[in-house]
Structure 1
Amino acid sequence: MSDIVEHDTLFIAGQWVEPAGTETIEVVSPVTEQVVGRVPHATPADVDKAVAAARAAFDHGPWPRLSLVERAEVVTRIKDAIAARHRELAELVTLQNGSPMLFSVRGQALSAVGAFAVALAAERFSQEDERPGTGGPVLVRREPVGVVAAITPWNVPQLTIAGKLAPALLAGCTVILKPSPETPLDANWLADVCAEAGLPDGVLSVLPAGRETGAYLVAHPDVDKVAFTGSVAAGKAIMAAAAENLTRVSLELGGKSAAILLDDADLAVAVPAVVGGTCAANSGQACVALTRVLVPASRYDEVATALTGAFAGLKVGDPADPTTVVGPMVTRQQQERNLEYIRIGREEGAKVLTGGGVPEGLSTGWYVSPTLFGDVTNDMRIAREEIFGPVVCLLRYETVDEAVALANDSAFGLSGAVFSADPERATEVARRVRTGTVTVNGFRLDLAAPFGGFKNSGIGREFGPEGLAAYFEYQAVNLPAPNPS
């Protein structure tokens, strides 16, 4: 993909149309720092057009009135098309995001296929069921929530889109998708896939845009639900704006997740999992990253040595190289953010065990060396704030109770892990960790399970049956009581 990927139209209501404005978004390669794509910047006028079409398609069109099985046929075609073209999608994401190809194939493209597949498992669920009530039978109906504004981030765009689009479409909703302005190319690619799959006009619009257009979309009175993945600050702003119209919201926000290594943890298991859940997870640009590693004081030196060697041995460089593990940050701003936190960590008294700057020989592109901080305490900013890059903190603890307290002493509660030679012991500790996901002896985001967070990590769940439920309203029809015999 050496040529610039150009789009001069917007996908509104199933058709490629002229934008209302003249402003464009330039997509810059995190590797070369050169423009690799260009798309129109959607305006509030484009939002009005897309929402009006979505409202009409929902209120009067066929999509919400089809059976779940009929909608599933279309969604299956979308899934199958993504699967068939997943390599093309992965290359596009690597071009715009800088994600290493190893991650782009599995964590970007194929994970989106998996999210669609999991949502399609909802075919087995009935849209209504009858149950006994206190005064007679009750028919409980699941109705689609309506017009959905899906706002997605730049780090794993296709997975976060799939986690919203697949269940929304299956439920019978219509969708306005606003991808991040940093990474809009894959969203336009998906628009073509959906049109070719036979998604009816009006059901989907794709509006690449920045914050102002996004804020206008969120506050639109004809939007019934906002599904958002992104920062805590943006999530709070969305929740406040949605309150004006009592718009439903689901928010998947940040994380500062802890990996707890118990005193009998097998480092042959724990170290690769920590690497996979930090630097190897989209170059550390993942909300679920295990960025705090909690280690018994008695094993601190052993773990520090093992992790230092593992981090130092990671290949950093061109994400198109299939052997690269850590690519660049998606923007210069993200690179500068990571480097600033590394400076703060040093200032706070933490010790850089490896990394700590820009890799040698990579002055072009927005790279940050995989960085491990030792001697970190949980009151340091680098242990409390989401850095969103390949920067990891190593903390000591004395007792299991202290480890759990440290893990829970966070404004976030998204993910985590517990490592022990005794899986039952690890599971008992995992039950005490206040996060939406905890993995025993590994690092995993399982798309068949509900995903979301406690505390500032968000509201609601995506994936699994719970992810589909988020796109329904429930109606109870009280049926006549049977005549007494």
Structure 2
Amino acid sequence: MTLTEPAGFFIDGAWAAPSTSQRIDIIEASTGRALTTVPQAAEADVDTAVAAARRAFDNSGWSSWTPEARAKAIYSLAEALEARAAATAQTVSIQNGMPISISSTSESVVPATLLRYYADLAVRHPAEEHRPGFAGGTTIVRREPIGVVAAIVPWNFPQTLTFFKVAPLLAAGCTVVIKPSPETVLDSYVLAEAIAASDIPAGVINIVPGGREIGAYLVAHPGVDKIAFTGSTAAGRAIGEVCGRLIRPVTLELGGKSASIVLDDADLPSLLEQFFAATLMNNGQTCYLGTRVLAPRHRYAETVDILTDFARSLTVGNALDPATQIGPLATATQQQKVQNYISRGVADGGRITTGGGRPAGTDTGWFVEPTIFADVDNSHTIAREEIFGPVLAVIPYADLDEAIAVANDSDFGLGGSVWTSDEQRGIDVARRVQTGSIGVNNFSLDFCSPFGGIKASGLGRELGPEGLAAYQQSKSIFLTTTR
């Protein structure tokens, strides 16, 4: 793939020259090789982008277009993205190490799917509802677009998580300034090309890549009406504090340390494909993964052996190889962080049954072997903190009540799963787990259903009708007449 050096930022429907000479280095995760550089936004660039989004919201008419008119423009963006699907998948995998088998679906297919889903949803849900009054009369309840949104996106699923935000906000009639992570910038240029080729009006979508300082500046910008953030809990706390002071709406999708509860009747060997997706997908760099595996004590050794053999069987390799199941981590910093957690797991008394280091034959790139820890207590650091790498900690439990207590003994509450031969039993267990989402014999996001966390895993919900409502504000118009 030929990589060019983009000259500017996509602002107000065109390429804008950067205000400074600062650049972001693009590194290939599979090789550690420097590939190219792109401009890094400064505060002046953010000001320009926010001003463009504000004009587009206030003056372009986008916010007052009919849902049908917006849907037509949104559909054109979906088509433009589909025409660039292969480029999107490649740029994501090159940058963050996501296996191409995953990026070719999640990063290439999901954005267009979400755009069409929300365009249709907005058409089906009129902006006004007439409600009979409690004591007579009628109230017109209007759902209006919230305004200019700042969407701050992480590096692990950069396009999917962009469109968790952009698809519903466009359908609602909002405009947006997107700040991609500096680790995954190239895919945002593919997105910009698609926007330019679509019928989305100038200024509705603007893109300014940068680091934490630029993100913080955008969060507090007076021209922004709402923040939509996906990232670490630490960053989410800082953003939440600013938004609380400003009385600014915010959606926070943060970290997780979810539990995969293996019940005593589970046929785990027949479910390993689903188990992989729920625990190790994208090299363990997925926020909802159930990386605490809870196993019944009388089947503990058996479960450890099954997972050890499974981890050893996984194909580790270059992210662009279609056979790769586990690719490199996104950065050298992330690789070192995961290795530090592995060392801490051993120091706390955990026992590595497989993995723990750099895979054989990977002299370059940010690789870590798929790693299974046994003899882990739920108080250990590797059971408390989000590792964000291919590391599973297997924790024993005596009975079902203890399993649920251990699952709920966490600062987080984002995902989770229950593994059993009895679906109804799995549902009953799932109802008792304190989390925002949980699967039975799988964990697969449903775009029609809300996704988000409780406790330190976040505020608000994305996806489903709830995801559209997050970009709308209600207005009540009270009438004395009955209609």
TM over 0.5: yes
- In structure 1, the partner of 2:465 is 465
- Does residue 35 (structure 1) correspond to residue 34 (structure 2)? The answer is yes
Deviations 1:209-262 (A, max 9, x none): 011111111001110000000000100111111223211100000000111111
Cα contact 2:314–2:325 (8 A) shared by 1: yes
Deviation at 1:320, TM superposition (A): 1.1
Match of 1:266 in 2: 267
Residue aligning to 1:248: 249
Any idea what SS the aligned residue of 1:130 has? strand
Partner of 2:412: 412
- CA distance in structure 2 between the partners assigned to 1:482 and 1:11 by the alignment: 49
Structure 2 residue 5 is matched with structure 1 residue 6 = yes
Q: Contact 2:297–2:398 (CA<8 Å) still a contact in 1?
A: yes
The one-character-per-residue Cα deviations of 1:77-96 (angstroms, maximum 9, x if unpaired) are: 11122223322211121122
For residues 409 and 458 of structure 1, what CA distance do their matches in structure 2 show?
17
Partner of 2:64: 65
1:277 aligns to what? 278
Question: 1 CA distance for matches of 2:324 and 2:207?
Answer: 32
Which secondary structure state, in structure 2, belongs to the residue aligned with residue 30 of structure 1? coil
In the alignment, which residue of structure 2 is the partner of 1:324? Answer: 324
Does the residue aligned with 1:307 lie in a helix, a strand or coil? helix
Q: How far apart in 1 are the matches of 2:378 and 2:101?
A: 33
SS in 2 for 1:25: strand
CA contact (8 A) 1:269 1:441 kept: no
Paired residues of 1:4 and 1:38 also in contact (CA < 8 A): no
Q: Aligned residue for 2:53?
A: 54
2:302 aligned counterpart, secondary structure: helix
Count of equivalent residues:
481
Note if 1:306 corresponds to 2:306. yes
Secondary structure at the aligned position of 1:170 is classed as helix
Counterpart in 2 of 1:286?
A: 286
The whole-number CA distance in structure 1 between the counterparts of 2:353 and 2:443 is 23
1:22 aligned partner = 21
Structure 1's 196 and 399: CA in aligned 2 closer, same or farther, altered over 3 A? Answer: same
Query: Does the 8 Å CA contact 1:178/1:206 hold for their aligned counterparts?
Result: yes
Kept in 1, the 8 Å contact 2:101–2:322? The answer is: yes
Q: In 1, are the aligned partners of 2:266 and 2:421 still within 8 Å (CA)?
A: yes
The residue identity in structure 1 corresponding to 2:469 is: A
SS of 2:432's partner is coil
Q: Any conservation in 2 of the 1:36–1:95 contact (CA below 8 Å)?
A: no
Q: Relative to structure 2, which stretch is displaced further, 328-337 or 110-119?
A: 110-119
- Asked if 1:195 is matched to 2:196, the reply is yes
Output the TM-score relative to the length of structure 2. Answer: 0.97
| SS at 1:6 equivalent | coil
Rounded to whole Å, the distance in 1 between the matches of 2:16 and 2:444 is: 41
8 Å CA contact 2:30, 2:97 repeated in 1: yes
Describe how 1:441-460 pairs up with structure 2 within 5 A.
441-460=441-460
Q: Which residue of 2 aligns with 1:388?
A: 388
| SS in structure 1 at match of 2:315 | coil
* Stretch of structure 1 that moved more, 327-336 or 135-144: 135-144
CA deviation profile, 1:418-474 (whole Å, cap 9, x unmatched): 111110011000001111111011121122210100111100011111000000000
Q: Return 5+ residue gaps in structure 1 as ranges.
A: none
Contact preservation (8 Å) 2:348, 2:380:
yes
CA RMSD, Structure 1 to Structure 2 (Å): 1.2
Name the CA distance, whole Å, in 1 between partners of 2:60 and 2:3. Answer: 37
Q: Does 1:118 align with 2:117?
A: yes
Residues 338-378 of structure 1 deviation map (CA, whole Å, 9 limit, x = unaligned): 00000000000000011011111212000000000001110
Counterpart mapping for 1:165-180 below 5 A: 165-180=166-181
SS at match of 1:256: coil
The equivalent of 1:164 in structure 2 is: 165
Secondary structure (helix, strand or coil) at the match of 1:328 reads coil
Q: Which residue matches 1:426?
A: 426
**Counterparts of 1:301 and 1:118, CA distance in 2:** 45
User: Tell me, what secondary structure is at the counterpart of 2:104?
Assistant: helix
Partners of 1:418 and 1:426 within 8 A in 2 = yes
Shift of 1:266: 1.2
**What residue in structure 1 maps to residue 437 of structure 2?**
437
User: What is the alpha-carbon distance in structure 1 between the residues aligned to residue 140 and residue 445 of structure 2?
Assistant: 35
Alignment match, 2:182: 181
Deviation at 1:482, TM superposition (A): 4.2
**Structure-1 residue corresponding to 2:153:** 152
Paired residues of 2:138 and 2:478 also in contact (CA < 8 A): yes
1:93-139 Cα distance to aligned partner (Å, 9 max, x none): 11222211111112222222332233233121111110111231110
Aligned to 2:88: 89
Is residue 269–residue 306 contact of structure 2 (8 Å, CA) maintained in 1? no
Partner of 1:210: 211
Matches of 1:393 and 1:324, distance apart in 2: 23
Matched AA of 2:253: E
Looking at structure 2, the residues matched to 336 and 16 of structure 1 have their Cα atoms a distance apart, in angstroms, of 37
**Bigger shift: 380-389 or 42-51?**
42-51
Any stretches of 5+ residues in structure 2 without a counterpart? none
Matched-pair contact (CA < 8 Å) for 1:261–1:270: no
Does structure 1 retain, via aligned residues, the 8 Å contact 2:275–2:441?
Answer: no
SS in 2 for 1:277: helix
In the alignment, residue 206 of structure 2 is paired with which amino acid?
S
> Distance between the aligned counterparts of 2:445 and 2:270, measured in 1?
17
Listed one character per residue, the Cα deviations across residues 270-298 of structure 1 (whole Å, up to 9, x for unaligned) are 4332222222x111100011101100001
Distance, in Å, in 1 between the alignment partners of 2:414 and 2:482 is 48
